[in-house]
Amino acid sequence: MTVRTLLMALCLLLCHEIAALAKGGALNKDAPWNPEHIEGLPADVRHYVAGICKGPATAQHDFATYSPQEKRWRINLEYLRCNGLTEYRRGNQCLDVEFVETGSRFRLARTSWRDCGF
């Protein structure tokens, strides 16, 4: 009986430690400004970014959001950093662009000025 109780206590202790390790492993180690936030986008969107940037670009997490229901990418240029990016902010308004899926490609659907920090 004592051995069974000790084994049960050891099992519970080990399960608790494994759960704690799993939670600790979920930390996001992604840099705030990361070129991978651009590299993972569809080619048409990356081409647009390359056209407005003169050289390497980095972006924050909120740079691009995708709506699967609308098949639409919303690009928030305020979260993009690169050479050549100039006229994409007017006071507290920032330029956003949207791309919609047409067949196997994405086309520029709309540009609009919105409050920064959506």
- Whether residue 51 is predicted with pLDDT greater than 80 in this model: the reply is yes
Q: Tell me, yes or no, whether 70 lies in a domain.
A: yes
The residue among 5, 64, 11, 76 whose CA lies nearest residue 38 is 64
Domain span at residue 60 reads 36-115
pLDDT digits (tens, 9 = 90+) for 77-115: 989 998 877 778 888 899 999 999 999 999 999 999 999
pTM for the model stands at: 0.70
Q: Tell me, yes or no, whether 10 lies in a domain.
A: no
Q: How would residue 28 be classed by pLDDT, with cut points 50, 70 and 90?
A: low
Q: Tell me, yes or no, whether 96 lies in a domain.
A: yes
Q: Tell me, yes or no, whether 6 lies in a domain.
A: no
What is the phi/psi pair of residue 24, to 5°? -70, -25
4 or 87: which leads in pLDDT: 87
Q: How many separate domains does the chain show? A: 1
Q: Tell me, yes or no, whether 8 lies in a domain.
A: no
